[in-house]
Amino acid sequence: MYQFSNIYGNALLVHHLQHAIQQKRISHAYLLLGDDGSGKKLLAHTFAQTLFCEQGGTEPCGICKSCHAYDAGAHPDLILVRPEKKSLGVEEIRTKIIDDVAIKPYRYSYKIYIIEQADTMTPAAQNALLKTLEEPPSYAVFLLLAKQQAAFLETVLSRCISLHLHPLPAQIVASYLQEKKSLSSEQAASYAAYAQGSIGQALTLLEDEAFLQMRQDVLAKLQRIQNTSLAEVLLWAKEWEIYQNDFRFLDVIALWYRDLLFAKRLHDDTLLIQQDLQAALYAHATEDAAVLAHKAIAVQQARTQLTQNANFRLTIEVLLMELKGE
């Protein structure tokens, strides 16, 4: 069962939606904006289940027929729309929304459409949806979930209430992992750092064996980079081509040098994010703080270049030269 009380962070958005429910002032369209794992899907489903709940409160009761149907994934007045290919086209919007919205709700006061990856709608599909957003039936509520606000036509944006989900402080993510997943404080802090403010991303990482192997591989190489020949180090760029569609390996590198810098400058164990690497960090924090800071900057520069479609192998070769100090 979905509960607003189980949503960590974004308290203002939760308050906004619960207040709208309490005052019975529901907009016909909401645009929930946030990165993958930010919680926009959880927020949308919690809002929808609460609107459907027969008790009429600001949380789903969990015991009425509507809540049972929702929890079973069989609610008759909830319509989930997902792109079948890379984008949502005109035909999908017409079939799943425009033609369907004219049919009154099966049983409840609302008919709710949750549109995932709504920012993949083509301009033609957005224009097709526009008339429905302009003149919706009184019972229709549209929840558009997206990462990129810029992907929408201004005419569509003007018909929606936009709600931005922001990354959570690392301590909130860590607290969630300790409370809900029984992680140690050291493990929780490490995963929270990699998750970059996203509980969803942290949960994904916990179950991602590929990430754990990536982290082990990258960290092992970084710990011996100074004692390895430049020729061999440059070969790592070819090995790391398997990560060219997964920039999390850069997060591993960046966090390593961040912790090295803190170990060098402050000598305070509590400030190290990767508590599981404490001994290794102190052992390798031998370079001058200015040099470590320069290397941390080099990682961010490499990320920027790769996001601008720079040649992967060449970019990583240059980065590895910087990290080795050549």
- CATH assignment of the domain containing 98: 3.40.50.300
At a CB cut-off of 8 Å and minimum separation 6, what does 126 contact?
A: 152, 153, 155, 156
Please check whether residues 99 and 248 belong to one and the same domain. Answer: no
Report whether pLDDT(326) > 80: no
- The stretch 276-300 carries a mean pLDDT of 92
pLDDT at 120: 96
Expressed as residue numbers, the domain containing 149 is 4-164
Q: What is the pLDDT of residue 1?
A: 85
Task: Note whether residue 202 is domain-resident.
Answer: no
Domain membership of residue 297 (yes or no) is yes
* Mean pLDDT calculated for residue range 12-35: 95
Residues 86, 192, single domain; the answer is no
- Does residue 203 fall inside a structural domain? no
Classify residue 62: in a domain, yes or no: yes
Whether residue 192 is found in the same domain as residue 225: no
Which of 155, 178, 197 terminates a domain? The answer is 197
- Give a yes or no: residue 308 inside a domain: yes
Q: Are residues 190 and 150 in the same domain?
A: no
37 falls within a domain? yes
Do 144 and 233 sit in the same domain of this protein?
Answer: no
Residue 265 reports pLDDT greater than 90: no
Cα separations in angstroms, 242 against 96, 210, 221, 269, 313: 38, 11, 15, 34, 11
**What amino acid is encoded at 77 in this protein?**
D
Res 102 pLDDT > 80: yes
Q: Is residue 176 domain-shared with residue 85, that is, in the same domain?
A: no
21 in a domain, yes or no?
Answer: yes
Ranges 109-123, 175-189, 290-304: which has the least confidence: 175-189
Listed in sequence order, the DSSP H helices in the chain are 11-23, 40-52, 65-71, 90-93, 99-101, 123-134, 154-157, 170-181, 185-195, 199-206, 209-223, 230-239, 248-265, 278-284, 289-307, 312-324
* Same domain, yes or no: 21 and 44: yes
In this prediction, residue 169 has a pLDDT band, given cuts at 50, 70 and 90, of: confident
Identify whether residues 237 and 126 lie together within a single domain: no
Judgement on whether residues 143 and 55 belong to the same structural domain of the protein: yes
Report the domain count for the chain.
3
Give CA separation, 160 vs 32, 122, 125, 153, 248, in Å. Answer: 10, 17, 16, 11, 33
pLDDT given at position 162: 96
Q: What is the pLDDT of residue 64?
A: 96
Q: Is the pLDDT of residue 180 over 80?
A: yes
Residues 177 and 151 in one domain: no
Answer yes or no: do 179 and 31 share one domain: no
CA–CA–CA angle 88, 89, 90 (5° rounding): 135
Among 44-48, 94-98, 169-173, the minimum mean pLDDT is found in: 169-173
Q: Residue 9: its pLDDT value, please?
A: 83
Is 83 domain-assigned? yes
Give tens-digit pLDDT for 51-83. 999 999 999 999 999 999 999 999 999 999 999
Average pLDDT rounded to a whole number, residues 153-171 = 93
Quote the CA–CA distance of 192 and 203 in Å, as a whole number: 10
Only one residue has tokens 């860590």, namely 174
Range from 43-52, 118-127, 170-179 carrying the lowest mean pLDDT? 170-179
Same domain, 8 and 151: yes
Inter-CA distances, 63 with 55, 111, 112, 287, Å? 9, 20, 20, 61
